[in-house]
Amino acid sequence: MITREPSYYGDETCSSYVIAGDFIFLAHHSEGHEKDDIEHQLVASFNNLRDSLYSAGASLEHLVQINLYLNDIKYFGAARDIFNHFFQKDGFPARMTTTTEFVNPTCLCMLDGIAYKK
């Protein structure tokens, strides 16, 4: 069975997440654009991602893969530090990090991922 959760930001062309069997596929999550601060935006994005997981009956501990998109590689060190606040030492998901431009010029980072919940 496949369940789609409507977008949290009003774009009807993109679900916030899709549950397919035991997997939860998370769309991009990005928040905190009112501040030009990577720590603020990444924490807000993580909180938003966590809220989506909770609404799907899961938590950050269920993440098996996370993708981190940054608008500048200079933020990578700060982003790694923030990851330590959200995951236990032996509970990090597989991670991919890349840099890209975003549609929103105030966006510094974005997260998406895959969770597994049985």
Nearby residues of 32 by Cβ (< 8 Å), 6 or more positions away: 40, 41, 42, 43, 44, 45
Instruction: Classify domain 2-116 by CATH number.
Output: 3.30.1330.40
Ordered by start, the domain boundaries in the chain are 2-116
Q: What is the pLDDT of residues 36-95, one digit of tens each?
A: 999 999 999 999 999 999 999 999 999 999 999 999 999 999 999 999 999 988 899 999
- The answer, as to whether pTM is greater than 0.85, is yes
Number of neighbours of residue 86 by Cβ within 10 angstroms:
17
